[in-house]
Structure 1
Amino acid sequence: MNQAATNSASNVLTKIVDTKAAHIAALKIRFPEAKLTPKVSDRSLFDALKAPNAGFIFECKKASPSKGLIREHFDVEAIADIYHHYAAGISVLTDEQFFQGDMDYIPKVRARVKQPILCKDFFVDSYQVKLAAHQGADAILLMLSVLNDEQYRTLATEAEKYNLDMLTEVSNEAELKRAIDLNAAIIGINNRNLRDLSTDLGTTQELAPHIPADRVVISESGIYNQAQVRRLSPLVDGFLVGSSLMAEADLDLACRTLTLGHNKVCGLTCSDDILAVAKAGAVYAGLIFYPKSPRSVSREQAQTLVKQHRETGPNIKFVGVFVNEEPKAIAETAKDLDLFAVQLHGSESEYEIEQVRQALKELACPAVIWKAVAVDADKAQQTIQVPANVDRVLFDSKSKQTGEIQFGGTGIAFNWQQSLPNKPASMLAGGLSPELASSASKQGFYGLDFNSGLESAPGVKDHTKINAAFSALREY
C-alpha cells in the first residue's frame, strides 16, 4: 500500500477515536446515565471459548470503514437465528458512525440466542461499559491500539462490576506484552494492521506462541475459509469472523463451509436424509443417476426430492452423479434440477468431458463439472493422471477386494499419504466413515465425500452416523 493510502487508513482509526466523545454525548441523551440499570452477566465468553475444539465468535456487522456497506439487507435477528447453530459467542457491532451499528441490536440478539454477546465498539469511557451491561452484553472489546494502561484498567474495573468478560485486542508484540502484563484473560490477535488496513494471518502465527497457556487466544480478521481455520487452530482457542460471513448471501451455508469445510454426502434417495445431511453441516448433496447403482434415482424422483428440500430445508448444493452418460442427457438433467455440479464417475475422456461442457453451454446451464478419478485402494502408491478440463477432481477408491473391479461405493479407503495432484482443490472419497472423518479432514483436501460409510443399508442413510461424522469434523 502506498504512503498516501497508509496515511488515510491510519487517519480512519484516529478519526474514529477522536469523534467518539461526541458520539458518547449523543448516547447519553438517548440513554441517560442516571436511568441505566446495568445487568450482571450470567453468560461467560471465556468459558464458552475454553470448551473443547476451536470456538467461533460470529459477528453481526453491516458495514466497515475498509469495506463500506457489507450487508445491504441487514436483519440482525435473522442473522442471530443462523449464528446460534454454529457460534460459541456472538459479536454485535454497535458503533453507529463508521459501522452502522446500534446499541439496540444487543437486546435483540440476546433474546434469540443462549450464547454470550460481545459488544464490539471503541470503548474509551466507563459510561460505554455501563451502557453495554444495561443493554445485556456479556463481554466488551478493549483495544490496546486505542487505550493506554491506565485507561484500560479503569474500563476493566467498570466491566468487572457487571461480570463482563473483556476481549483485549492486540496487533503487535508491544501490545501483546501489555495485554499479558495487564492480566488480560481473553486476548484477540487482530490480523488487520490498523494503520494500513491490510491483513496478514502471520500475525497470529507470530504472536500466539508467546501467550501464556491459561489465557484464551482468539484470531481476528482475515479469516475466510476452512483451510485458514485448520492452519491456525493449533495456535488459538477460537476465531472472530465478521466481514467474510456478512458478505455472503446464504449465511447458513457460509457458516457450514467455514466451520466444517466443503463436504458432500452422496447416494441420497429420500427427503429425510437430505434434510439430515444439510442440518448436520453438508454443503453438497449427491444424487446418483446410474441405474446399476443401488442408490440410483430417476430424474422424476430427483425432481421431487430437490423441490421438497428447496421449499422446506436449509440450502444445499445438489450434485448429479453420472456414469458414461450421454452429454445431452446430463445437461438436460442438470438444467431441469438446477444442479450445482455434474460429477462424471465413469471412464470419460477429456474429449467426452468437453462434450458435456458444450451440452451444458447450449442449454445455458451454469453447472460446473467434477470428475471422479480412480485411486487403487489395493496399492500403496501409484501415478495418478487427472483431466485438465474439469472444475474439480474427486479422488475415489477402486478395488478388487469385493471380487470384481469396483470404482466408487467400495466402502474401502485408499492410501491418503501417497502423492496426489492438487489436493487442496480436490475432494476425497472412498470408505469415509464417522471413525475416519476426523483424520480424513486433516489430509489437506478441499472437502470430503461420504456415502456408504454413513449407511445402514445401500441407499439408506443412518442419521446417527451422519451426525457422528460431522461432529468429528469439528475436532480441531
Structure 2
Amino acid sequence: MQNQPTILQKIVQDKAVWVDNKQKTFPLSQFQQQIVTADRDFYAALAAASHQVPAYILECKKASPSKGLIRAEFDLDAIAQVYKHYASVISVLTDEQYFQGDFRYIEQVKRQTMQPILCKDFMISPYQVYLARYSNADAILLMLSVLDDETYRTLADLAHSLGMGVLTETSTEQEFERALALGAKVIGVNNRDLHTLTVDMNRIVRLVEKYQEQIPADVRLISESGIYDHTQVKAIKPFAHAFLIGSSLMGSADLNNAVRSVIFGENKVCGLTRPQDVKAVYENGFLYGGLIFAENSPRQLSLRQAQELVVNAPLRYVGVFQNQAVEFVEKIAKQLELYAVQLHGTEDDAYIAELSAKLAGKTQIWQAISVDVQAETVEYHDNPLVARYILDSKHGAQQGGTGRVFDWQIIPSELKPKALLAGGISAENIEQALVQGCLGVDLNSGVEQHKGVKDLAKMTACAEKILKA
C-alpha cells in the first residue's frame, strides 16, 4: 500500500491542477501585455529592519489547513486599515482551495496602503508569477520545500525582472543551505512543518546559530508562523530581522490591539487624567491605560471624567479600585466597557468571586500585589479568577503610587508570565525592569511632571526603550 501524501504534497498536487485550469480560462496571452513593473520595493521595506527593532510582515488570512476557518468575518478593508499603521510589508494569501484566498485581494489591500504587498501562495509555475504581478503584487513567496534549484531560479529571476522581491522560505538545514547558495536576499524560516503542521519555535534559532558565519550581512531573516505574543518576539529577535504573523492576529476580534500587543508588548500607563495624555499613551505604543477610581488617590476620576477620557484613543482601559463596593466597580466597568478592573486593596477571594460573577467574563479582574520596599519575599495567593497581577511597591501604609522600587530579584518566577511590574519605574531604570521577565511594565509617577499630569518626553523615552528591549 502506497504512503498517503503529506498535506504539503497534496496542496502542491492540487496547485498544479489549479494552474493548468487557470491557464485555460485566463491564458497569459490575455494579460501579459498589461503587466507593468512593481512600484513598491520589497527589499527596501525590510532593509532597515534590525535585531533590535524588527520589521513586521502582517498577513491577511481567512483560513488555513492547520486551523480551518480563522476569521469568519473577513473584512479586508478593515484589516488593511489596521495593518497600514504597523506593517513594513503586508502579506495576502491568494490560494483558494486551502486558505480561501483570492488574487483580487491584493489590489483591494494595495489601494488602501503604502506598503509593498507580498503574494503568499504555492508558486510552482511562471504563470503564477505573472499573475501575481498582474494582480499588483510587489513580492512573491518561493518555498524551497516545493521547488528545485532550477525552478527556483527561473521563478526568482522572472519576479526580479518584473520588479518584484522574493521571500525565500526554508524549514530545514538543507533548505537553508540552498537559500544561501542561491543568493536569496530575504530568507524566511517557517517554524511550522508543512508536512505535519507541527510548530517548532526554536527552528530559526538553531539554523541561524549553525550558519551565522555564512549569512551575508545584508540578508534579512524572517521568522514565520507560531508567533502569538511579544515574549516570543523578544526571545527570537536576536536571530531574526522581521516576523511574519498571520493566524494569531486573524483569530482576534480586536485586531488593532492584537497587533499592538505582539509588537509593543503588554505595557500600561496608569493615573491618566488628561485627554492629551491618553492620546500620547496610545501613540507611544502602550496597550493599557489606567483610570483610577480609588478614593484616596490624587489621580482619582469621576465616571464623567473617565467617559471624557476614553473617547480619545482605543486603548484597553483598566479601572483601578481599592476596597470599594462590588456594585460600584460593576457599574463603572460596564458603563466604560473596561477591559479590566484592577483591585488595589485587601479584596479577598469571596469579593473576587462575587465581582467575577457580576462581570460575567466581559471584563478581566486584575489584582495588585503590594511588596514592601524592604521585603525579602513576595507574599501572594494565586487566584484563578485573576487574569493579571500588578507587582507594585508598598512604603509604610501607602500601597501604590509611592514612586519607590522594591527588590525585583525576589519576584517568584512562576508569577512573571501573568504579572506587570510597577512601582517607581522611569526612563532611568526601565531597561532593568524589562529584563526581569514579567509580562510588561506599569508606569505612573515615573512619567509625570506632577501627580496626574504626564510628561510626554519621559513617556516617549520609556516607549523607545521598551521597543528596543
Q: Which range moves more in the overlay, 25-34 or 447-456?
A: 25-34
The alpha-carbon distance between structure 1 residues 11 and 184, as it changes in their structure 2 partners (threshold 3 A), is: closer
The alpha-carbon distance between structure 1 residues 219 and 324, as it changes in their structure 2 partners (threshold 3 A), is: same
Note the alpha carbon deviations across 1:116-162, whole angstroms, 9 max, x for none: 22111111222322332333322211100111000011111112213
How many aligned positions are there?
Answer: 459
> Which of 26, 34, 37 does residue 36 from structure 1 map onto?
34
Inter-partner Cα distance in structure 1 for 2:142 and 2:6 = 23
> Which of 433, 447, 450 does residue 440 from structure 2 map onto?
447
1:95 aligns with 2:89: no
> Which of 442, 452, 459 does residue 459 from structure 1 map onto?
452
Q: CA RMSD in A?
A: 2.5
Inter-partner Cα distance in structure 1 for 2:127 and 2:358 = 64
1:294 aligns with 2:290: no
> Which of 387, 392, 395 does residue 391 from structure 1 map onto?
387
Deviation at 1:23, TM superposition (A): 4.8
Inter-partner Cα distance in structure 2 for 1:422 and 1:199 = 26
Paired letter, 2:321: F
Residue 170 of structure 1 is matched in structure 2 by 170
Q: Which aligned segments of 4 or more residues in structure 1 are displaced greater than 6 angstroms?
A: none
1:283 aligns with 2:287: yes
Question: Contact 2:42–2:89 (CA<8 Å) still a contact in 1?
Answer: no
The alpha-carbon distance between structure 1 residues 363 and 81, as it changes in their structure 2 partners (threshold 3 A), is: closer
Question: Contact 1:36–1:130 (CA<8 Å) still a contact in 2?
Answer: no
Note the alpha carbon deviations across 1:342-384, whole angstroms, 9 max, x for none: 21212x15xx34224314525757433222112233x4x6111
Note the alpha carbon deviations across 1:62-90, whole angstroms, 9 max, x for none: 22222222222222232122112111211
Paired letter, 1:38: V
Residue 57 of structure 2 is matched in structure 1 by 57
Residue 326 of structure 1 is matched in structure 2 by 325
Q: Secondary structure at the match of 1:448?
A: strand
Paired letter, 1:43: D
Paired letter, 2:417: P
Identity across the alignment (%): 44
Give the TM-score taking structure 2 as reference length.
0.90
Inter-partner Cα distance in structure 2 for 1:368 and 1:247 = 19
Inter-partner Cα distance in structure 2 for 1:125 and 1:366 = 49
Q: Secondary structure at the match of 2:238?
A: coil
The alpha-carbon distance between structure 1 residues 466 and 60, as it changes in their structure 2 partners (threshold 3 A), is: same
The alpha-carbon distance between structure 1 residues 446 and 26, as it changes in their structure 2 partners (threshold 3 A), is: farther
Q: Secondary structure at the match of 1:97?
A: coil
The alpha-carbon distance between structure 1 residues 227 and 363, as it changes in their structure 2 partners (threshold 3 A), is: closer
Question: Contact 1:159–1:165 (CA<8 Å) still a contact in 2?
Answer: yes
1:273 aligns with 2:277: yes
Q: Secondary structure at the match of 2:467?
A: coil
Residue 373 of structure 1 is matched in structure 2 by 369
Unaligned runs of 5+ in 2: none
The alpha-carbon distance between structure 1 residues 11 and 145, as it changes in their structure 2 partners (threshold 3 A), is: closer
Residue 317 of structure 1 is matched in structure 2 by 316
Q: Secondary structure at the match of 1:233?
A: helix
The alpha-carbon distance between structure 1 residues 375 and 188, as it changes in their structure 2 partners (threshold 3 A), is: same
Matches within 5 A, 1:66-215: 66-209=66-209, 210-211=211-212, 212-214=215-217, 215=219
The alpha-carbon distance between structure 1 residues 416 and 217, as it changes in their structure 2 partners (threshold 3 A), is: same
Q: Which range moves more in the overlay, 411-420 or 89-98?
A: 411-420
Paired letter, 2:402: T
Inter-partner Cα distance in structure 2 for 1:46 and 1:188 = 16
Question: Contact 1:13–1:194 (CA<8 Å) still a contact in 2?
Answer: no
Deviation at 1:27, TM superposition (A): 6.6
Give the TM-score taking structure 1 as reference length.
0.88
Deviation at 1:195, TM superposition (A): 0.8
Question: Contact 1:386–1:393 (CA<8 Å) still a contact in 2?
Answer: no
1:229 aligns with 2:226: no
Unaligned runs of 5+ in 1: none
Deviation at 1:172, TM superposition (A): 0.8
Question: Contact 1:45–1:116 (CA<8 Å) still a contact in 2?
Answer: no
Inter-partner Cα distance in structure 1 for 2:356 and 2:417 = 26
Q: Secondary structure at the match of 1:19?
A: helix
Residue 19 of structure 1 is matched in structure 2 by 17
Deviation at 1:56, TM superposition (A): 0.8
Residue 259 of structure 2 is matched in structure 1 by 255
